[in-house]
A and B are shown apart, each in its own frame.
Chain A
Amino acid sequence: MNFPVLKGASYALVQANDMIIHQGSTSLSEQKLSPDSEYLKLLPTRLRSFEDCVNYAPNQVYIGNKRPKDLNGIEAPWYENSPKGASREGKHGEIMPLDEFLGLMKAVDAFELVLLEESFQKAVEPKLLAHPVVGGWKFLEKLGKGHAAQAQIDELVAGHLAEPMYCEGKLVGCVKKAHEFDAALSEHVMFENLVSKASAAFCLELLLQKTDLDRTDVGYIIECSEEACGDMNQRGGGNFAKAIGEVCGCVNATGSDTRSFCAGPAHALVEAAALVQAGIYKNVVVLAGGSCAKLGMNSKNHIAKGLPVLEDVMGAFAVHVGENDGVSPVIRTDIVGQHTIGSGGSPQAVMQALVANPLDRAGLKIGDVDTFSTEMHDPGVMVPAGAGNVPEANYKMIAALGVMRKEFEKSQLPEILAKISMPGYAPPQGHIPSGVPFLAHMKDLMAEGELNRVMIVGKGSLFLGRLTNLFDGVSFIVEKNSGVVESGSVDKDSVRAMIAEAMADFAASLRVQDTVDERPHSSHRHSAE
């Protein structure tokens, strides 16, 4: 069987210090509840420089300049001990500063909602035109016109008609509300959605520039962030996917949005693999942009402990799933794990459903998997916040599951953990750390012969939407490509044999049908229909 393959993946980070203060949910909640709090006073003083953000070793891993296990060689805390002189450009992606990103938000705005102050816009335009990745976008033309006066922006923001865009503490622009009173098109929602669209489009362009995928060959795009776009009659109507593909000139693509909190990307990758394997589309891109609401989510704890605000980046990714090329890692669509409605919500039940069950069905053991990419949250961010080391907890659960299943002894736990573990390095932006950050590293490591089989695990907390207390998760196995591509073609003799067999089956079915039709219509037969 020809399985689909992971042909490439790209990753983007956007440092957005001012958005932590003005759009981050933690800061906004505090402004509402305790506007005079010590936290709000300290917040602007604990922000990192762009240089420190670029140097931060987990960010360097995310964009591909370091490998995940390189972090084991850097003493904690990583924000203090990361090597200096790192580059914003990476093998798999890039880290963008806020001024350039605000320019991108204007470039991708299709409804003239974004206003940038004249001098700011004039300063950003040449930077983006000279940018090696997005410099060729036709939408950058928007930066050459429509410059706004500072007074106009001040007035719109003061009148609550627009969401402010700050850069280095200065009000440099705004996103206007898209309807007089529709809450789904409010200035805040439009800001969040434009952030998501701009960061995802940047990452899609990175994928197109860093891999051999031609933009006109993209057939389908699945967007899997955690935002919703629509109006008051269809609040989550969509479609981010096509809006993002349009920016990058993917003129032959259609697409849609898939949602399942942090498990969204894993669902989307399984869907992409199925679409390719079914032959419906040859090239599918799964992507997601970043979330400004999650910026500084744990910053109260970080500030209380004297740390800088480490959640200062928004993440994005784009992954290309295509037909088997005999080289790229293979997505084993026959080894997919799913947390079903009846699976149960305890961690043990979740791990059973996502890890043990699919392996059992394939006749594999936990020890047959080289490593697992689960929730790859950066422990440098999560541990000081009191949320524990998330990837480590997952690895411990997987290893403990092996003990429960008597695959290995309890005494072997440290050895198993050392084999399957890698440190987390992704910014805790919900869908961003969930399984996908490792795909590009995995492709490289498989090409180098370091890995043969990896399980990607996505998990999601559905209770946050207050519609169900169910948990969610999806997993799948990726393997090194054997190099064998089945042609799928058949010779004339095989076709003749298949036709003869089909005709014989058809003739036999007619004989059975004659027998059935001669009988009176019984109530049993009726109920069977």
Chain B
Amino acid sequence: MDLENQARIKSFCEQYGNEDFIVVLGGGEAEASGLAAETVSTGDPTFAGPLAGVSLGLKAYHMFELKDEVDAAVYEEQIAMMEMVLEMDAIIEEVKNYRG
């Protein structure tokens, strides 16, 4: 996960606490999305960024999982095409693993 994003998420978490705080992912690949979910949950497994050894316990969801939570027209315009492009089921399955 991008080191700058790790720093921003850590900073938000310190500012707002980790309750009512979820991370929405837009990753295009299962392994990388899972890595991001793991990073914000139990810490950076690559030990490269600010979340190395830091367990924020945040729940991450891929945007595909939040389809019913957003305006259908916006989803259609911005995301729907990617359902045909990405391995949607594999991504969701991988991200779910890190929500405990």
Contacts and interface: CB of A to CB of B under 8 A. Distances in A.
A347 B82 CA distance: 8
A348 B78 contact: yes
B48 A386 contact: no
B29 A397 contact: no
A346 B79 CA distance: 7
Interface residues of B, number: 18
A400 B28 contact: no
Contact of B81 (A34, A344, A348, A388): A348
B66 interface: no
A413 B84 CA distance: 9
Contacts of B79: 346, 348
A401 interface: yes
Query: A interface, how many residues as a size bin?
Result: 20 to 34
Given A344-B78, A386-B31, A400 B47 contact: no
B61 to A, nearest CB: 17
A348 B29 contact: no
A34 B48 CA distance: 9
Contacts of A401: 81
B25 interface: no
Interface in A373-412: 386-388, 393, 396-397, 399-401, 403-404, 410
A393 B84 contact: no
B77 interface: yes
Contacts of B32: 386-388
B37 to A, nearest CB: 13
A345 B48 CA distance: 27
Contacts of B4: 466
A123 B76 CA distance: 63
Contacts of B86: 393
Interface in B54-100: 77-82, 84-86
A351 interface: yes
Nearest to B46: A300
Contacts of A413: 84
Contacts of A388: 28-29, 32
A495 interface: no
A82 to B, nearest CB: 25
A349 interface: yes
Interface in A313-347: 344, 346-347
Contact of B78 (A33, A346, A387, A400): A346
Contacts of A29: 48
Contact of B29 (A344, A387, A399, A466): A387
Contacts of A351: 81
A386 B28 CA distance: 10
B9 interface: no
Contact of B28 (A344, A393, A403, A404): A393
Contacts of B46: 300
Contacts of A400: 81-82, 84-85
B7 to A, nearest CB: 12
Contacts of A387: 29, 32
B9 to A, nearest CB: 16
Interface in B17-43: 28-29, 31-32, 35
Nearest to B33: A386
B73 to A, nearest CB: 13
Contacts of B35: 386
A501 B81 CA distance: 52
Nearest to B77: A348
B28 A348 contact: no
Interface in A113-128: none
A404 B39 CA distance: 34
A397 B78 contact: no
A300 B4 CA distance: 19
A396 B87 CA distance: 11
A397 B79 CA distance: 11
Nearest to B48: A33
Nearest to B35: A386
Contacts of A393: 28, 85-86
Contacts of B80: 348, 404
Given A34-B47, A386-B35, A347 B29 contact: no
B72 to A, nearest CB: 14
B66 to A, nearest CB: 14
Contacts of B31: 386
A29 B28 CA distance: 26
A344 B85 CA distance: 19
A449 to B, nearest CB: 32
Interface in A339-376: 344, 346-349, 351
29 contacts: A33-B48, A300-B46, A347-B28, A347-B85, A348-B81, A348-B82, A349-B77, A386-B29, A386-B31, A386-B32, A386-B35, A387-B32, A388-B28, A388-B32, A393-B28, A393-B85, A393-B86, A396-B84, A396-B85, A397-B82, A397-B85, A400-B81, A400-B82, A400-B84, A403-B84, A404-B80, A404-B81, A410-B84, A466-B4
Interface of B: 4, 28-29, 31-32, 35, 46-48, 77-82, 84-86
Interface of A: 29, 33-34, 300, 344, 346-349, 351, 386-388, 393, 396-397, 399-401, 403-404, 410, 413, 466
Given A348-B82, A400-B82, 8 more contacts: A347-B28, A348-B78, A351-B81, A386-B35, A387-B29, A396-B85, A397-B81, A403-B84
